[in-house]
Structure 1
C-alpha cells in the first residue's frame, strides 16, 4: 500500500515536471520577443517605458483570444550610443528578438539600423525625429513619429507674426540637433528672415561651455533664439541664461517640439527659468478615452518612478509609444513567432561578434505588416506608409508662465496661426496673424513684443566710412587729435544721422575717415566697403554702373540737371478769370480792336467780290461767316 502511494506520488511529480516543461515550451513558442532600448534616466525615456508597458497590458486585456504575446526586454542605454548598440547586440544574440523598439536617440539609430539590415529585424522608433533617418540605406528602420521638418513652417509663421527679421538657431552638435537646420533655414528664407549665426552646443557641454556660448550670443545684435536641443541640454541652457540676464525684457526664445512636448515632465526650477518662452508642440484632442488612459498611466508611472513629481503627465511621446506597441502586437499576431532562423556562414559560439547573429526568417513579412497597419490611435491617425508617419498635424503654441504653461493658439497648414482651432481654411499670414493669438507674457514678465535685436554694450559699432568733398557744404571731415576721433559735418552727414534717429532701435556707430592725401578716387573709397573695411560709406558719391557692381546705393537725395527758379506771388487770382492774367488790360483792348478791324476788312472784301452770303440784311449767319473767314485768312 505504501509502495502504491509512493509510486503514485512519483508519477504525479513526473507529470507535474512534464506539464511544467510543456508550459515553458508553449510560453517560449508563443512569446514574440521584442527589445526596448531607452534612456531610462531621461524624461522621455521614463515616459516611454511606462507607455509601452501599459500598452502591452491594455492590448492583451482587449484581445484575450490572441495566441501570440509580446514579451518586452527593456534595456537602459544611459544616453550612450555605444551602450545602446551593445544592448541591441545582446538582445539579438541572447533573446533572438524579432523587433526592436527604440532606440531613443537619432544617433543611436544609425548603427542599430545597420544591425537590423544584417539580421532583417525591424527597428521601430517613436522618439528619433531626425529628418535624415528615413533613407534607402536603412530598409528595416521605421520612424513611427513625424520628423522635425514637420514643425519648421509653424515656427516660421510664429517669427513672421511678431515681425522679427533675424533669428539665431541654437542646437546641439548631434544628429538630432543638426537634422532640422537645413529645413528651418529654408522655411525662414521663404519669409525673408535671416539666420546670421548658428550657435552649436557640443553634446558633452559643461556649464562653463554653456556660459561661454551664451556670452557670445549676448555680444550680438539679434535677440530672437530658436532652441532645438535635448531636454537635458535645454534645461542647463535656460538655467544659465537666467543667471546671465538673458531671460529679461527684450529677449525672445522659441523651443521646438522636442522640449515643448514634455514640458510637464521638466524640473519645476527649469520651468521657472523658462518663463516667457514660446514653444511649439503637437496637439492631441481631448477625449474620455484619453482621460481614462492618462489616469491609468499616471498611476503606473508613479509606481515605476516613486521619486518623480506627481504632476508629470502623459505626453504625445507616450501616446506615440502606446500606439506603436498596439501596431506591433497586431502585426505579430498576423506574422506569428519565428521558430527557425538561418545562420550566417561564419558562426562563433558565445561571442558578441556580428558574425554570430542569426537572420530572422519573418523580418521582411513583419516589416511589411507593420507599415500596412493603419488605425486611429491616441496620438492621431497611425499610418506608417513609406516607413514614416505622414499626416497634417496640428501644432499648439504655448507660453511658459509661472511653473506651467498657457495656450497661445494653434497652427495648421490650411489655417495658419489662430487663437482657436478652426478648419475653415481661411488663412492669415504675416503680422496680421499675431492679432489672432492670445497675448504673450515675454521674458522679464513683459507684455511688450521684443523688437528682435538691439545694439549690445559689448557689441561692435557700425563702421561708417567718410571722406571730405570738394564742396564742403556736402561733407567735410577732420581728425580731432585730442579725442582721436573723426568729426564730420555737412548735408550728407545730416541726412545720415536723421535716418539713424528714425530707426525703431538704437544704432551705435563711429566715423572712420578715408585717407585722401594721395590721388585715390571715389572708386577706391567705394571698393573699401566691398572689402569690408567699412560697413557703410557716407559721402557725396555719384551712382555709377562700375560702382554698383560692388556695393548697393541708397535712393539719391540730389540729382543732376538744369532747373529754373522763378519768383512766386502769393496774391495770385484763384477764380475762373485766371486765364486773363497772362495779358494786360491794354493788350486785351488792342487785341479786340485789331480783331474787329480785321473782321470789317474781311467783310468788305467779301462784299465787293459779290459773295452772296454777305449780301442782304445783317444777320448772325453773316457774322459767323465773317469770323470763320478771319481765322481762315490767318
Structure 2
C-alpha cells in the first residue's frame, strides 16, 4: 500500500500489537497511522519509537477503575482474570492496573485464565474445557473478568463455560469494551450463552443530527449489501472509522487551503483536530486521544443488551448525564448500580455470591490455635510423630453440630497454628489460602 498505492494515511488496527507492527513499517515511510487501539499503560518512549502512530482510543485506566467499582459495590473479594494471550506480553499492563485497582478495597485476582489465540489451536473447545476444569479444581472465585480477547475466543469461552455450569446463578461475568461493541454481530444462539453478563463501553451520543443521518445511510447501504443480516445498526467501530476518515479529510483540506504539503504537516494537522465526532470528543494530547472517562454499563439480555448506568472517574455510577456534567457538585456513588441487573441464570432478586462452595479438592481451611490454655474451648491432640490427630473442645463441637444442620456438604480441614489470636485474625485479613501446619515445640 505504501510503495505501490502511495497511501497517505493508514487507519484501523483494533489490537495494540497490530498497531505497533504496522507503525514500525509506516514510520520508516513517514506515513501517519490512526489506530483504534491504545496501550493499557503508555510506554515512556512511545513517541520516539513510533513517531507517526496516533491512537484514537482510550487506554485501560478508566476501564479497570470501573471494574473495581463494580466489584466493590457488590462486595466480591476474589476475581478470575480472563485474557487471550497475544504472545507479546500486551496483557500484562492491564492486568497490573486491575490488580492495583482491586487492592484499594482489599480484593484480589485469585486466578489467571490465559487462553492462546484461537488461530494457534486445533481444538479451541477442548483446550478451554481443560483450562476451565483446572480453574474449578483450584479456585472458588466465580467472578470472571474478561480483560482482552477476540470475539471468536469469547464466544468459545462462554459456550464451554455454560455447558460446565460456570455461567449460573452464583457466577458473575464482566466483558470488555471490545466485546461489548461487537455484540450486535453475535448470533442469537451465542448471545444466549452470554446472558446476564455485564459489559462496559465508551459512551457516545446517538441524538445528534449528524449521527442520525449517518445511521440512516449506514442502515440503507448495509441492507442493500447484506439483505440476509438482521442487525443493521452501526457499531462503535463504524463510528471510529467514520471519525478517522473525517479528521483525515479535514486535515487534507486545511493543507490544500494553506498551500502546504508533506507527511509531517499532515500528521500535524491530524493532531490539531478539535472535533465532536460520532464516537465522542476528538482532541489529541501528544499522539494520544484525550481520554473520555464517561463509560456506559450494559447488561446482556438477548437484545443484545440493556443499558444501565453511566460511570465516570469523578462521579462513579450515575443514572443521567446531567449529573455527570455537574462534575464535583455531586458525591461519588460506588454503592451499587441503580438499574435492574439480570444476572446469569435469570437471577434478579439477589446478587450472585461470586464464589463456589469448597470442594474435596479445595476444602475450606480452618485455622485453630495449636497451643492454648483454654483446652475446654479448643484443643489439638498430637500423635507420636508430632502431627495433629484430633481436634476437640466446645468451639469444635459447636462448629461440627452446625455443619450437620446444613443442607449441603462443606468439605473442610483444620490447621493448627502456634500463634496468637491476632495472628489468626491477620491470616483472615491477608486472605491467606495456604497454611503450613505448625508442630508443637519439642517435636
Contact conserved, 2:199 with 2:297, CA < 8 A, in 1?
A: yes
CA deviation map 1:337-370 (0-9, x unaligned): 9xxxxxxxxxxxxxxxxxxxxxxx8221111110
Query: What aligned pairs does 1:340-379 form with structure 2 within 5 A after superposition?
Result: 362-379=262-279
Tell me the equivalent position of 1:159: 71
Q: What SS does structure 2 have at the residue aligned with 1:191?
A: coil
Tell me the equivalent position of 1:230: 150
Aligned-residue offset at 1:398? 0.7
Kindly indicate whether residue 133 of structure 2 is the aligned counterpart of residue 215 of structure 1: yes
Kindly indicate whether residue 59 of structure 2 is the aligned counterpart of residue 147 of structure 1: yes
Kindly indicate whether residue 249 of structure 2 is the aligned counterpart of residue 329 of structure 1: yes
CA deviation map 1:74-129 (0-9, x unaligned): xxxxxxxxxxxxxxxxx111112222112333222222211122111111112456
Tell me the equivalent position of 2:161: 241
Kindly indicate whether residue 226 of structure 2 is the aligned counterpart of residue 301 of structure 1: no
Contact conserved, 2:19 with 2:37, CA < 8 A, in 1?
A: no
Query: What aligned pairs does 1:444-483 form with structure 2 within 5 A after superposition?
Result: 444-447=345-348, 448-457=350-359, 459-464=361-366, 467=370, 472-477=375-380
Query: What aligned pairs does 1:174-323 form with structure 2 within 5 A after superposition?
Result: 174=86, 177-203=91-117, 204-205=120-121, 206-219=124-137, 220-228=139-147, 229-287=149-207, 288-307=209-228, 309-323=229-243
Contact conserved, 1:132 with 1:179, CA < 8 A, in 2?
A: no
Distance 1:168 1:211 in 2: 16
Which of 392, 408, 418 aligns to 1:489? It is: 392
Distance 1:454 1:538 in 2: 28
Task: Mark the CA change 1:513 to 1:196 in structure 2 (over 3 Å): closer, same or farther.
Answer: closer
Which of 1 and 2 has higher RCO (CA within 8 Å, sep 6+)?
2
CA RMSD of aligned residues (A): 3.6
Contact conserved, 2:206 with 2:212, CA < 8 A, in 1?
A: yes
Contact conserved, 1:279 with 1:399, CA < 8 A, in 2?
A: yes
Aligned-residue offset at 1:302? 3.3
Tell me the equivalent position of 1:109: 19
Distance 1:180 1:513 in 2: 39
Kindly indicate whether residue 347 of structure 2 is the aligned counterpart of residue 427 of structure 1: no
Tell me the equivalent position of 1:10: none
Tell me the equivalent position of 1:173: 85
Tell me the equivalent position of 1:605: none
Contact conserved, 2:62 with 2:313, CA < 8 A, in 1?
A: no
Q: What SS does structure 2 have at the residue aligned with 1:296?
A: helix
Query: What aligned pairs does 1:469-548 form with structure 2 within 5 A after superposition?
Result: 472-477=375-380, 486-491=389-394, 493=396, 508-511=411-414, 535=435
Q: What SS does structure 1 have at the residue aligned with 2:155?
A: helix
Distance 2:214 2:232 in 1: 14
Contact conserved, 2:9 with 2:33, CA < 8 A, in 1?
A: yes
Distance 2:135 2:298 in 1: 24
CA deviation map 1:290-313 (0-9, x unaligned): 222112112222344455x22142
Kindly indicate whether residue 437 of structure 2 is the aligned counterpart of residue 437 of structure 1: no
Distance 1:187 1:510 in 2: 32
Contact conserved, 1:472 with 1:490, CA < 8 A, in 2?
A: yes
Q: What SS does structure 2 have at the residue aligned with 1:393?
A: coil
Give the count of matched residue pairs. 409
Tell me the equivalent position of 1:44: none
CA deviation map 1:395-453 (0-9, x unaligned): 111111134211221112232102333233413444xx31x511211111112201221
Q: What SS does structure 1 have at the residue aligned with 2:220?
A: helix
Task: Mark the CA change 1:488 to 1:260 in structure 2 (over 3 Å): closer, same or farther.
Answer: same
Tell me the equivalent position of 1:84: none
Task: Mark the CA change 1:384 to 1:335 in structure 2 (over 3 Å): closer, same or farther.
Answer: same
Distance 2:191 2:411 in 1: 35
Task: Mark the CA change 1:316 to 1:156 in structure 2 (over 3 Å): closer, same or farther.
Answer: same
Listed as ranges, the gaps of 5+ residues in structure 1 are 1-90, 338-360, 515-520, 542-634
Higher helix share: 1
Task: Mark the CA change 1:498 to 1:156 in structure 2 (over 3 Å): closer, same or farther.
Answer: farther
Tell me the equivalent position of 1:380: 280
Distance 1:169 1:233 in 2: 15
Contact conserved, 2:301 with 2:342, CA < 8 A, in 1?
A: yes
Aligned-residue offset at 1:383? 0.8
Distance 1:336 1:495 in 2: 85
Task: Mark the CA change 1:158 to 1:221 in structure 2 (over 3 Å): closer, same or farther.
Answer: same
TM-score, normalised to structure 1, is: 0.58
CA deviation map 1:596-615 (0-9, x unaligned): xxxxxxxxxxxxxxxxxxxx
Distance 1:96 1:456 in 2: 62
